[in-house]
């Protein structure tokens, strides 16, 4: 074989999985025992993880001690590359596992495949021109390779100052899958791959090089086909060239040099060489901080290393429970002021970054923590009550309750405690926003939400806007955490207090914004107000809001009030199921024009926006904009606030939405109902805008054969029967 081909010996090297592995971290891949890979890249920084490509074309990182390197038949490697390339070409992903562009990976694999095919072609031509020599184990070896390898081994051993001694050590048996590999050379045993520290790698490589092959291994091995370049490579660290980068990889001492040397007669060992070998062994053992005698034999070193490896394996994995991980997260939050969510992220990042720096036996103890962090931590309430956030919430609620009592008594301390109260409220807002929501919900629910009720009473008694503003922020944070809190606030005196504040401060844009946003959240759940509130929130309040929309105060230089007040009306309207007792419609009948209101409503329905539902724990049952339009067109008096041109625009939107919606979508019946109300309570019969499009839509719906279409078909049938002159003509 030519020298150029000898330098390409690494091209026939692959990785084989020793165990099953389930990916937990990003950019890692799962695999089964016996699966093959090609090494794509290794890193000196993350030496415990190697970047590989699987037969399916997937690229990602695998733990280095879960795989072993071995030489394979070049034809097997060529077929492996062909399968990977074919899988990648069939893939639709532009980027593979978030690591590399698909086309770039295909180009690299194709380049490697071309190189392999070229080597195979040259190898076949060389084998025809050079007479092979047959070895004792049945393999074929060229004379030039054999003599060169023997000379190199002899020179290497002389330079290193020692000869291999016949030391025997225990070898782990490979699984049946590993024994059935297409490897050309036998692979090292598993512990050699587990030892990852630099000093341990030096010792392991030397001792493995000293270890002779058993007769069985010699008979089954065809390692003699390995190139001259591999025979000279006995260093522990070697520079490997991949298809794109030069990377430093931690590798084992070459097995080929061992087997070639065994075929040669060992030279007598001089006293100087013996002394030098002992000194070298002592130095390397000392680097591991292991106490050793002054004169240490290779057999004793091997025994010590076996003991270390076995002790690392026998360390039991401590069972990590969710409460343990939760306490770690809580400690991070307490000491860094990070939010609970960001504390979880911080812990995940630390685990991910520290993993490459630790030995693999230690890393496996960290993996359960990473697994638990991928899902919400299920911990008992007793543990939640012991956290720093829970203790602070109890203190704050107690302190604010005392403030409420002071306000009731109107003591002389009333106006000298603003700084303390503000500090309490700001801390409360921070905890409600950043702490674990489960902690906040548990503490708010104590004594049937008495702490929330106390804050509402305190808001009613407090006259200072600076404190009221902070109380509103606290109420908003509570509403986003718990539905019950929203229900309690809706049934309390808070809505009436807010309405009174809005009417009293109709020119203060900042106050109007804060107060209106609080009401939007409270009304967004769609629950009906208590009777006592309904008596106070009548049509005059809606007219007040409409005046702010059509004629905002001069102080509203950025025109923010119209949008906010429209959202408040939409939210307030959700509680009325029957348009006959809807106070919003009653107010609309008393206004002359609502140009700004109608224009903004059409914009919202065209964009399919829902500006009201902001609470994640409360699902939206109906789009508030669509419900508002259905209610407005339920009466001819309120439908008249829309100009004919506005009605035509609305019909265009209806046609588009009904054309896109399929059977079974709940919102479709609302659009059909709106269509019926427009035809019934406007002058649609005069202009019949988009009539043919509506007929086509009705026909399509009527011809649907699914059970979920029955309700929509009934509405279409009723529309056609009610207006036969339009839709049956």
Verify that 94 and 43 share a domain, yes or no: yes
Q: What percent of the chain has pLDDT over 90?
A: 46
- When mean pLDDT is compared across 23-27, 164-168, 326-330, 472-476, the lowest value belongs to 164-168
Contact 516, 480 (CB under 8 A): no
* pLDDT band at 625; cut points 50, 70, 90: very high
> Are residues 10 and 72 both part of a single domain?
yes
Q: Which two tokens stand for residue 556?
A: 């509203």
User: Does 190 reside within a domain?
Assistant: yes
Q: What is the pLDDT of residue 23?
A: 85
β-strands 67-71, 13-17 pairing: antiparallel
- The H or E element that residue 129 is part of is helix 102-129
CA atoms of 415 and 395, how far apart (whole Å): 21
685 and 705 fall within a common domain: yes
Q: Select from 633, 706, 708 the least CA-distant residue to 673.
A: 633
Q: What is the pLDDT of residue 415?
A: 55
* Residue 237, number of CB atoms within 10 A of its CB: 15
Q: Is residue 110 part of a domain?
A: yes
Round to whole Å and give the CA distance between 729 and 727.
Answer: 6
Q: Does one domain contain both 136 and 228?
A: yes
CB 72, CB 13: distance < 8 Å: yes
What pLDDT score does 73 carry? Answer: 85
Higher per-residue confidence, 60 vs 413: 60
* pLDDT for 240: 37
Q: CA 667 to CA 683: how far, in whole Å? A: 25
As given in the structure block, the two tokens for residue 237 are: 């660290």
Please indicate, yes or no, whether residues 220 and 359 belong to a single structural domain of this protein.
Answer: no
What are the helix (H) ranges across 142-197? 143-160, 176-179, 191-194
Would you say 614 and 570 are in contact if contact means Cβ atoms under 8 Å apart?
Answer: no
351 located within any domain: yes
Contact 109, 81 (CB under 8 A): yes
Percent of the chain with pLDDT over 70: 69
Which residues, at least 6 apart from 294, have a Cβ–Cβ distance to it below 8 Å?
A: 282
For residue 550, what are the β-bridge partners? Answer: none
Same domain, 722 and 694: yes
- Note whether 216 and 360 are same-domain residues: no
Task: Name the band, by pLDDT with cuts 50, 70 and 90, for residue 445.
Answer: very high
- Cα 397 to its chain centre, rounded Å, is 36
Question: Where does residue 133 fall: left (phi above 0), alpha (psi -120 to 50 degrees), or beta otherwise?
Answer: beta
DSSP assignment letter at 183: B
Residue 216 shares a structural domain with residue 270: yes
119 & 220 share domain: yes
| Number of domains composing the chain | 3
Query: Which CA distances in Å does 534 have to 364, 518, 529, 571, 627?
Result: 63, 18, 6, 15, 20
* Closest of 621, 521, 537, 522 to residue 582, by C-alpha: 537
Q: What is the 3-state secondary structure (H, E, C) of 569-601?
A: HHHHHCCCCCHHHCHHHHHHCCCCCCHHHHHHH
Residue 562 lies in a domain: no
Rounded CA-CA distance 464/416 in Å is 12
Start-to-end CA distance of the chain, whole Å, equals 91
Q: Which tokens in the block code for residue 77?
A: 């490697």
Picking from 350, 379, 408, the residue at the C-terminal end of a domain is 379
pLDDT computed for residue 5 by the predictor: 38
The two structure tokens encoding residue 591: 């206004």
Average confidence (pLDDT) over 641-662: 94
Band of residue 402 on the pLDDT scale cut at 50, 70, 90: confident
- Return the structure tokens found at 435: 């702490």
**What is the predicted pLDDT for the residue at 311?**
53
Determine, yes or no, domain membership for 413: no
β-pairing, 237-241 vs 49-54, is: unpaired
The three-state secondary structure class of 157 is helix
Beta strand extents in 452-605 (DSSP E only): none
Contacts of 158 (CB under 8 A, 6+ apart): none
Q: What's residue 689's pLDDT?
A: 93
Residue 629 CB: number of other CB atoms within 10 A?
27
Question: In this structure, are 350 and 235 located in the same domain?
Answer: no
Can you tell me which residue has the tokens 């890193």? Answer: 43
| 698 within some domain | yes
Q: What is the pLDDT of residue 456?
A: 96
With 50 as the cut, is the pLDDT of residue 264 above it? Answer: no
Longest CA–CA span in the chain (Å) reads 119
pLDDT, residue 409, reads 52
3-state helix, strand, coil in the chain (%, to 5): 60, 5, 30
Is residue 197 scored above 80 in pLDDT? no
Q: How far is CA 554 from CA 275, 384, 504, 544, 565, in A?
A: 98, 50, 17, 16, 16
**Per-residue b or e along 289-326, where b marks 16 or more CB atoms closer than 10 Å to that residue's CB:** eeeeeeebebeebbebbeebbeebeeeeeeebebeebb
Helix (H) or strand (E) holding 282: helix 271-286
State the Cα–Cα distance between residues 39 and 431, nearest whole angstrom.
49
Strands (E), 177-319: 237-241, 246-250
The answer to whether 644 and 650 are in contact (CB under 8 A) is no
* pLDDT higher than threshold 50 for residue 183: no
Last residue of a domain, one of 363, 379, 395: 379
Of 116-130, 145-159, 483-497, the one with minimum mean pLDDT is 145-159
pLDDT higher than threshold 60 for residue 585? yes
**Confidence grade of residue 365 (pLDDT, cut at 50, 70, 90):** confident
CA-CA-CA-CA torsion sign (682, 684, 689, 691):
positive
247 and 359: one domain? no
8 A C-beta contact, residue 511 and residue 505: yes
How large is the average pLDDT for residues 113-123? Answer: 82
Q: Where are the alpha helices (DSSP H) in 373-464?
A: 381-384, 388-409, 418-434, 437-444, 450-461
Q: What confidence tier does 260 reach under pLDDT thresholds 50, 70, 90?
A: very low
> pLDDT-derived band of residue 42, with 50, 70 and 90 as boundaries?
low
In a domain? residue 82: yes
DSSP state of 35: -
> Closest Cα to residue 634, out of 672, 691, 676, 694?
676
Same domain, 343 and 306: no
Report the predicted TM-score, pTM, of the whole model to 2 decimal places.
Answer: 0.59
How many Cβ atoms sit within 10 Å of the Cβ of residue 22?
10
Given a cut of 50, whether residue 143 has pLDDT beyond it is no
Q: Which of 359, 379, 399 is the last residue of a domain?
A: 379
Residue 307 has pLDDT above 80, yes or no: no
The per-residue pLDDT for 200 is 35
pLDDT at 355: 87
Confidence of residue 312 (pLDDT cuts 50, 70, 90): low
Task: Locate 361 and state its tokens.
Answer: 């036996």
Task: Quote the mean pLDDT of the chain.
Answer: 77
Mean pLDDT of 476-501: 96
Q: Name which of 190, 254, 239 is nearest 42 in CA terms.
A: 239
Residue 717 and residue 597: Cα distance in Å, rounded?
A: 33
Domain region containing 361: 322-379
What per-residue confidence (pLDDT) applies to 323? 94
CB-based contact 97:59 (threshold 8 Å): yes
Q: Are 129 and 1 in contact (CB under 8 A)?
A: no
Residue 159: what pLDDT? 42
Q: Checking DSSP bridges between strand 59-63 and strand 49-54, what pairing results, if any?
A: antiparallel
Residue 367 confidence (pLDDT) above 80: yes
Give the separation between CA 264 and CA 327, rounded to whole angstroms: 62
Which residues, 6+ apart, have CB-to-CB distance to 41 below 8 Å? 50, 51, 242, 244, 245, 247
In a domain, 495, yes or no: no
| pLDDT for res 483 | 95
Least confidently predicted of 180-194, 421-435, 457-471, 522-536: 180-194
């Amino acid at each position: 074989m030519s020298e150029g081909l000898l330098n390409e010996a690494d091209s026939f090297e692959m990785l084989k999985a020793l165990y099953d592995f389930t990916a937990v971290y990003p950019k890692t891949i799962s695999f089964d025992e016996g699966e093959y890979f090609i090494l794509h890249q290794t890193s000196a920084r993350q030496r415990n993880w190697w970047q590989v490509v699987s037969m399916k074309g997937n690229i990602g990182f695998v733990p280095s001690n879960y795989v072993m390197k071995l030489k394979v038949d070049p034809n097997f490697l060529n077929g492996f590359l062909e399968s990977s390339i074919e899988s990648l070409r069939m893939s639709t992903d532009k980027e593979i596992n978030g690591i590399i562009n698909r086309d770039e990976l295909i180009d690299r694999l194709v380049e490697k495949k071309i190189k392999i095919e070229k080597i195979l072609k040259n190898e076949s031509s060389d084998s025809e021109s050079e007479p092979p020599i047959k070895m004792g184990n049945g393999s074929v070896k060229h004379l030039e390779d054999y003599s060169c390898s023997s000379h190199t081994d002899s020179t290497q051993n002389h330079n290193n100052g020692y000869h291999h001694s016949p030391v025997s050590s225990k070898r782990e048996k490979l699984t049946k899958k590993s024994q059935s590999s297409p490897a050309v050379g036998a692979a090292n045993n598993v512990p050699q791959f587990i030892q990852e520290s630099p000093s341990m790698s030096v010792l392991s490589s030397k001792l493995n090089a000293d270890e002779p092959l058993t007769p069985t291994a010699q008979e089954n091995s065809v390692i003699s086909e390995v190139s001259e370049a591999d025979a000279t490579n006995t260093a522990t660290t070697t520079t490997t060239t991949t298809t794109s980068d030069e990377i430093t990889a931690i590798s084992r001492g070459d097995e080929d040099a061992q087997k070639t040397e065994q075929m040669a007669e060992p030279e007598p060992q001089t006293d100087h060489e013996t002394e030098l070998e002992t000194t070298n062994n002592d130095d390397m053992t000392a680097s591991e901080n292991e106490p050793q005698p002054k004169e240490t034999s290779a057999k004793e070193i091997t025994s010590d290393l076996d003991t270390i490896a076995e002790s690392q394996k026998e360390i039991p994995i401590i069972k990590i429970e969710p409460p343990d991980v939760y306490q770690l997260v809580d400690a991070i939050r307490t000491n860094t002021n990070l939010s609970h969510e960001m504390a979880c992220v911080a812990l995940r990042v630390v685990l991910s970054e520290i993993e490459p720096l630790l030995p693999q036996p230690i890393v496996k103890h960290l993996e359960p923590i990473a697994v638990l962090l991928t899902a919400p931590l299920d911990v008992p309430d007793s543990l939640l009550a012991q956290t720093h956030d829970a203790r602070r919430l109890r203190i704050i609620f107690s302190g604010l309750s005392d403030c409420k009592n002071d306000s009731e008594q109107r003591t002389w301390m009333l106006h000298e405690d603003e700084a303390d109260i503000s500090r309490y409220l700001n801390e409360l807002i921070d905890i409600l926003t950043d702490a674990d929501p489960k902690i906040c919900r548990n503490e708010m629910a104590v004594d049937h939400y008495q702490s929330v009720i106390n804050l509402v009473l305190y808001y009613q008694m407090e006259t200072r806007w600076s404190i009221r503003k902070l109380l509103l922020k606290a109420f908003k944070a509570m509403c986003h955490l718990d539905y019950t809190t929203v229900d309690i606030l809706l049934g309390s005196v808070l809505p009436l207090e807010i309405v009174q504040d809005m009417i009293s401060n109709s020119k203060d844009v900042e106050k109007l914004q804060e107060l209106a946003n609080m009401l939007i959240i409270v009304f967004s759940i769609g629950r009906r107000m208590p009777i006592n509130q309904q008596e106070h929130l009548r049509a005059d309040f809606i007219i007040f809001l409409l005046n702010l929309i059509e004629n905002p105060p001069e102080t509203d230089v950025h025109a923010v009030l119209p949008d906010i007040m429209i959202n408040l009306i939409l939210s307030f309207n959700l509680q009325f199921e029957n348009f006959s007792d809807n106070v919003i419609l009653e107010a609309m009948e008393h206004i002359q024009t609502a140009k700004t209101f109608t224009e903004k409503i059409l914009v919202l329905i065209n964009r399919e926006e829902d500006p009201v539902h902001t609470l994640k724990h409360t699902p939206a049952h109906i789009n508030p904009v669509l419900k508002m339009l259905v209610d407005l067109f339920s009466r001819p008096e309120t439908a008249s606030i829309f100009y004919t041109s506005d009605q035509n625009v609305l019909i265009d939107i209806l046609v588009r939405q009904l054309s896109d919606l399929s059977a079974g979508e709940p919102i479709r019946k609302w659009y059909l109902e709106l269509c019926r109300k427009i035809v019934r309570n406007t002058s649609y019969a005069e202009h019949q805008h988009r009539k043919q499009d509506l007929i086509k839509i009705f026909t399509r719906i009527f011809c649907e054969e699914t059970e979920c279409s029955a309700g929509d078909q009934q509405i279409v049938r009723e529309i056609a029967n009610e207006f036969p002159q339009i839709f049956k003509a």
